[in-house]
Structure 1
Amino acid sequence: MTKTVCIVGAGPSGLVAAKSLLHDVPRGTFEVTIVDSQPRLGGLWPSQRDDNGGLIHPLMVANQSKHTVQFSDLAWPEDAPELPQAWQVGQYLDRYYKAYCLAAELCLETRVERTEKTRSGSWRVWTRSKDGTLGERPFDYLLVASGYFGKPAVPGSDVIPEHPEVPVIHSSKYRNLKDMLGGGKPKGGKILVVGGQMSGVEIAGTIATHLSSVTNSPGTSPIANPEKYSVHHIIQKPVWVMPMFLSPKASSPAPPFLPLDLASYNLSNRPHPLTNTQGHITEESAIRTSSLYETALGTDQSIYSPALAFTHKDHANPQFIAVSDNYNEFVRSGLITVTQGKLDKLSGHEAIISPTGGKVDDIVAVVLATGFKASDSISFLPQEELETLSLSPDDLNNTVALAFHGTYHPCISNLGFVGFYRSQYWGVMEMQARFVTTLWNAGGSGSVALAQALKQALDKDKSIQRTIALRDDPRASQFPMGDYAWLMQEFATALEMERVDHLGAMPALPPAGNEMNILTPARYPSKRLNEFQQPEFTKSLKQTEATVWAGVSSGKFVAKAVFRSLLGEWKLERKLTSKLPSHPSGHFSGTARFLLREGTRDGREAEFDKIVQEGGDIGMEYLYIEEGDFEADSGFTFRATRRYIWRYNENKDELSVWFAKTDDQKRADYLFHKVEFTVPKDDNEKSWKATAGHMCIKDYYDVKYDFRFKAVNLVDWNLAYTVNGPQKDYTIDGTYTR
């Protein structure tokens, strides 16, 4: 007999739940209805570049790669970027819905207002459509996939006045500087960002990027005097801020690079069977994790700012992590100022920080990166069921206490949860959906029809007790539910699923020389793969393996790592040696600044227009400004300056340098050269080397680069070139240091 299921939420967790109910058991076992209040599916993820109505900026770059932000049986298109933007994730979900969920009834612009359990134990669900029509329907099962992002958690009126004198917005509502500031204030001021975890770091880095871009781009700025603004970030404790790409060989001075999740989820680096690294964090575990993060980053973050540095005490506390390509360097450059403490009160244009009582003045806007109250996502559940779930509305991490890693409660057999936890790992969502489907198909947690492996897993499960204990635990981890790899293992064991091997050999890394063993959702394919799913799962595995090999053995992503690490100011010492009297020999001493901005059209009009027409990403670039004094060997000294435009093309993984126009030095003129990286012959190489060439009329520029890394950061680098032609014969050798 077919059982009816109401899924609340049409985001990734709702869609993968529908797929599992429709495809992982015999057809007709479940009849599925998906209800969502939005006019589109995708949940947090918009599917259009200009869709600004949701909680995520459509151009936000995902902080996990496409190899993790996917389900096991739908591969990304071959031309998809390694790190997709939010709108591209939305389009992936639209494809997923069309591939697997068309048999479900989809009710968009329909809000679930309340639910109740009937005497027979089934559910009655009341919904209200966009036009106000109230509907009521019975269902055998109710599945909550409404997510953790129910309602912004904001400070009370004792901290933020009801009618503040400056704009105050939640981080999820930030889109651009003009919407937040209007035309801007002539005198500028400080944009206060409150909250030091993932969203706080990301939004502070985003706002700083926007300020840098409007300040250093050609044309008219959307706000007045952008150079007079800065970001002031309040954090309660230091967090590790990782860039989007890490190295699986961080100790090498010429390290290869991979998307951070592929570098992090290498199962060869962990003892098996896996143990949970999240939840309650001992001092020993915290110190060990801190050491791993410091090795990956190559610093304790003191090189950026004392406010970001990890002290001996900080190493012993639970370690928190955030992801941003630009945040650390903007802190180093001074565009972002960091204060440790807590916002005590906003008064006018001034903020008081506790416990020191320090003040931040000249505030022109406040952005609250203070998270979400997940309790609003389940407000439609009856009070009795909420009490059974041990609802704790103000606990942002452990809102309800659920069994088997956030999937169900044994006292409410026909209520399930998918994706209701603070983490973004799609593989876990898929496993949760499979678990709930398997449990309901067997008749519930007390059914005699349960497979032995599943019964044993349920018998030893302590998820409810662990969740409640963590609510008052001062040593609770950032993601208390459990770490990604361990959760995948636990679900796979309970469901008797095998993690498939990589399709071919993988790169072997020191010190043990073990082959990489990368965890992705595609490593756990469905037991019931059909003719459509099989090639998709295989394609996903091939994409991941190709990315790993390209990064480890052919130098892909090095250009990206160099480009990211150039941001900010460098000390420049350069020696010029000329064989002709027309070009005097001498020494230049000064600074070189790499000023980040959105990619511009100048010099590449046709390519730029094509990317825009196809909906692609233009990418970022730098305005390079070099200033200093040149002292000729003859003793004559003069002030010297030059400008270039440095660009990174993600589609081609290509770094290029362009001349700036002489009449408008913020604009690119024409290509100087493309930087061609040379793959090191062995691990003894001390740097990444690159070459380039440029013919300028009759003079040829032979260019050589030498980039020395410490983990993910450039320590110093050299740029030398020889110029030969009818009237030029000289060499230039410059060294850039922080």
Structure 2
Amino acid sequence: MSKRVCIVGAGPAGLVAAKSLLHDAPRGTFDVTLFDSQTRIGGLWPSHKDDSTGLLHPLTITNQSKHTVQFSDLAWPEDAPQLPRAWQVGRYLAEYLQRYCSGAELRLGTHVEKAEPFAASTTSGSPSGWRVQTRSAEGKVREETFDYLLVASGFFGKPTVPPVSNRGHDVPIIHSSQYRDLQSLVGKTSGSGGKILVVGGQMSGVEIAGTIASHLSSATHSPEPSPIANPEKYTVHHIIQQPVWVFPLHTSPNPTAPAPPFLPLDLGSYNLSNRVQPLTNSQGHISPEAAKIVHSIYQTTLGTDQSIFSPDLAVTTAHTGNPPYLAVSENYLDFVRSGLIALSRGKLAALSADGATLTPSNEQIGDVAAVVYATGFEASPSISFLPASVKEALSLSPSDLNNTVALAFHGTYHPDVPNLGFVGFYRSPYWGIMEMQARFLTALWAAGGPSSPSLPPSIKEALSNDRSIERTLGLRTDPRASQFPMGDYAWLMQEFAAALGLERSPHLGPMPRLPPADKEMDILTPARYPSGSLTESQRAEVARSLAHTEATAWAGVRSGRFVARAVFRSLLGEWKLERDLVSKLPGHPSGHFSGTAKFLLRDGTRDGREAEFDALGEDGDPGQEYLYVEEGEFAASNGLTFRATRRYVWRYDEKRDKLSVWFVRTDDQKRADYLFHELDFVLPSGGVGGGEDRNNGNNGKGWEAKAGHLCVDDFYDVKYQFNFKAVNLWDWRLAYTVTGPKKDYTIDGLYSR
């Protein structure tokens, strides 16, 4: 007879739990019912571009690539972006539901109000089932019994807002999860501008500050009408307590190379060739020695201690003995450097009609236009349906946002309540870990529970050596606890695999070799740990997924893919420009230009590429672009001096991995007119970033690119050189030779910060 399982939550955790119960145990072992209070699946992931019901903005870009944001046996479409939007993740989950969860009963719009354990008899000491009370959207109450209860309701139960004194402060105040656009945040204010205060300096604080700054920049510099009045009068003011490392979405597996290759950041982070085997846990308690090593790795990855962006972001020797903190954002650092994001150190103590007060400095921040709290989430509301006795058994601590409950075997169950399971109930539930947790619970329950004599030997051994509960309780009072205390991704995958008797699959073929050890990349993804019993269609999905990852690695490390994107990202802000013009014709004087060049970020526009833009359709992504504004003084060799300016539009096409420069219209210099040229990056003579050649076979030069453009009778032969320091563009040159019936001159310009 099938055992009934109640799963609370139909997000990624709930869906992978249902799939595992239905497919990883003998058919008919479990009868699964999924409940979710929302009227759609996906949890925090929105289902389409206009879905505002999730905790994530639909257009949010994932901070892990599609190679990590996936389950082992469903590959992303080949043409899916490397870093999907949140709504595309929702679409992936809909496909996963259709593919693997059709055997489960799905009840959406149904809130689980109460779950009470009961024993099979009055003499039994342990619970053998659950009475679950639910309420439908129409208010209908229903009570049912289940053998097992699985919590997949997510760690983001309720936004946390600090208890800040608020006296006469009437500007908009929201949590970061509620932010959607500028209009809904400040659109109802007078439009007089001011500071948008972002409170919270960790992952979500950096992300939301960068997002709002991006929206302000676009509203200011777009040719289209702004969604708010006077966007140029607003800035972001970010309150942080300590500097965190801010990584872009693409990093280099060989950051010291003059022409570094680039890959999605998780492909480098999860390269097991850089780890000593067998893996040990790098998270939890962080010793000063371990902290210094990780800080050093982060600094090498970024090529800076971040002081080049702001002294308030510098990670100095005063910080490197403390546990490191990491955030991910494409544009945050350069927005700080440009001044669109200002920083203050401290805690928000009070809000008043005069503005904000920080502690302990007592700094006053005036002219506050809105407040956005990026202060995390409380997980305990996600298990509000559990009775007090069960919460006590789980050592519930609502105030501990990282270690809310103490669970055995890496967040999956508690021995005192063996028919209660958890999947994804911890901070940063990477998809591979969720899948492993679901498999573990399936194997545990299919064998009859943790005390069953039928347990496989590998699980029995894993449980006997497990110290997860004691470790969690100890971390609650540990001042040196890490940012993500449950455990690092690769180590957790190893531990679950050992318990389940799973082997890590090899790559399909040879992988790129990287310095300094000259080892092949060994990239950990969920597809590296497929289920022990796969159907032919599942095998095909696993193979497709592995092939996508391997092709991406080879393209980045050997073909220079993602370099154009890295250049585009790093252009943001203001550059000093010194340019020489040498003319061979007496009618066109030589001279020197000195000034600035600004790359002003905005949403992609339709101008000049109307057919291509319209072909994107509703699901297309126009990306972002820059309005390039150059201003300065030209001193001609004949003694004349005059002010000079020029404008272009720079664009990056993600699908084609192409960077292009466009002329602007003479009647509206915010609008693109027609294509000037596309950049073709030149592969270094010795290949890109591999082997032991620290100079990349490029004689110590940076990345070079070339382009050509015929303008009427004049030909522009264009050459670029981009000099990186790890992920950041340090300086770059643009030179071109113009020849034609009436032109014969060269231009050579150096751009530096």
TM range (shorter): over 0.9
- Contact 1:184–1:223, Cα closer than 8 Å, also in 2: no
Alpha carbons of structure 1 residues 233 and 38: separation in structure 2 relative to 1, 3 Å = same
Aligned equivalents of 2:361, 2:188: Cα separation in 1: 34
Aligned equivalents of 1:733, 1:184: Cα separation in 2: 47
Unaligned runs of 5+ in 2: 121-127, 687-695
- Contact 2:155–2:427, Cα closer than 8 Å, also in 1: yes
Q: Secondary structure at the match of 1:641?
A: strand
Report 1:146-185 matches (<5 A): 146-156=153-163, 158-160=164-166, 164-185=169-190
- Contact 2:62–2:84, Cα closer than 8 Å, also in 1: yes
**AA in 2 matched with 1:317:** N
1:219 match:
224
Report 1:571-720 matches (<5 A): 571-611=576-616, 613-682=617-686, 683-685=696-698, 686-720=701-735
**AA in 2 matched with 1:68:** T
Q: 4+ runs of 1 displaced by more than 2 Å?
A: 158-161, 183-187
Aligned equivalents of 1:186, 1:88: Cα separation in 2: 34
Aligned equivalents of 1:214, 1:711: Cα separation in 2: 31
Aligned equivalents of 2:40, 2:341: Cα separation in 1: 36
- Contact 2:261–2:560, Cα closer than 8 Å, also in 1: yes
Displacement of 1:424 after TM fit? 3.6
Aligned equivalents of 2:673, 2:486: Cα separation in 1: 53
Q: Secondary structure at the match of 1:315?
A: coil
Per-residue CA deviation, residues 477-501 of structure 1 (Å, 9 max, x unaligned), is 0000000000000000111100000
**AA in 2 matched with 1:684:** G
Per-residue CA deviation, residues 212-253 of structure 1 (Å, 9 max, x unaligned), is 000000132111111110000001111000000000000001
Displacement of 1:453 after TM fit? 1.3
Aligned equivalents of 1:64, 1:630: Cα separation in 2: 46
- Contact 1:192–1:363, Cα closer than 8 Å, also in 2: yes
Aligned equivalents of 2:413, 2:166: Cα separation in 1: 37
2:424 match:
419
- Contact 1:166–1:349, Cα closer than 8 Å, also in 2: no
Aligned equivalents of 1:349, 1:468: Cα separation in 2: 43
Per-residue CA deviation, residues 87-112 of structure 1 (Å, 9 max, x unaligned), is 00000000000000010000000000
Aligned equivalents of 1:582, 1:131: Cα separation in 2: 82
Q: Secondary structure at the match of 1:316?
A: coil
Q: Secondary structure at the match of 1:734?
A: strand
Displacement of 1:164 after TM fit? 3.9
Q: Secondary structure at the match of 2:311?
A: coil
2:206 match:
201
Displacement of 1:183 after TM fit? 4.6
Q: Secondary structure at the match of 2:99?
A: helix
Per-residue CA deviation, residues 625-650 of structure 1 (Å, 9 max, x unaligned), is 00000000111100000000000011
1:133 match:
140
**AA in 2 matched with 1:236:** Q
Aligned equivalents of 1:656, 1:306: Cα separation in 2: 34
Report 1:365-514 matches (<5 A): 365-514=370-519
Structure 1 length as normaliser, TM-score? Answer: 0.99
Aligned equivalents of 1:601, 1:87: Cα separation in 2: 22
Displacement of 1:160 after TM fit? 4.3
- Contact 1:166–1:348, Cα closer than 8 Å, also in 2: no
Q: Secondary structure at the match of 2:615?
A: helix
- Contact 2:116–2:132, Cα closer than 8 Å, also in 1: yes
1:231 match:
236
1:569 match:
574
1:17 match:
17
2:364 match:
359
Per-residue CA deviation, residues 591-631 of structure 1 (Å, 9 max, x unaligned), is 000000000000000000111x1511110000000000000
Per-residue CA deviation, residues 487-540 of structure 1 (Å, 9 max, x unaligned), is 000000111100000000000011111000000000000001012211000000
Report 1:309-320 matches (<5 A): 309-320=314-325
- Contact 1:178–1:184, Cα closer than 8 Å, also in 2: no
- Contact 1:7–1:145, Cα closer than 8 Å, also in 2: yes
Aligned equivalents of 2:537, 2:99: Cα separation in 1: 9
Report 1:10-49 matches (<5 A): 10-49=10-49
- Contact 1:349–1:364, Cα closer than 8 Å, also in 2: no
Aligned equivalents of 1:259, 1:559: Cα separation in 2: 13
Query: Is residue 91 of structure 2 the alignment partner of residue 76 of structure 1?
Result: no
Q: Secondary structure at the match of 2:320?
A: helix
2:113 match:
113
Query: Is residue 129 of structure 2 the alignment partner of residue 122 of structure 1?
Result: yes
- Contact 1:345–1:351, Cα closer than 8 Å, also in 2: yes
Q: Secondary structure at the match of 2:318?
A: helix
Displacement of 1:349 after TM fit? 4.5
Q: CA RMSD in A?
A: 0.9
Aligned equivalents of 1:223, 1:185: Cα separation in 2: 10
Q: Secondary structure at the match of 1:458?
A: helix
Per-residue CA deviation, residues 198-222 of structure 1 (Å, 9 max, x unaligned), is 1000000000000000000013211
Q: Secondary structure at the match of 1:469?
A: helix
Alpha carbons of structure 1 residues 95 and 552: separation in structure 2 relative to 1, 3 Å = same
Alignment identity in percent? 68
- Contact 1:183–1:222, Cα closer than 8 Å, also in 2: no
Displacement of 1:287 after TM fit? 0.4
Aligned equivalents of 2:224, 2:560: Cα separation in 1: 36
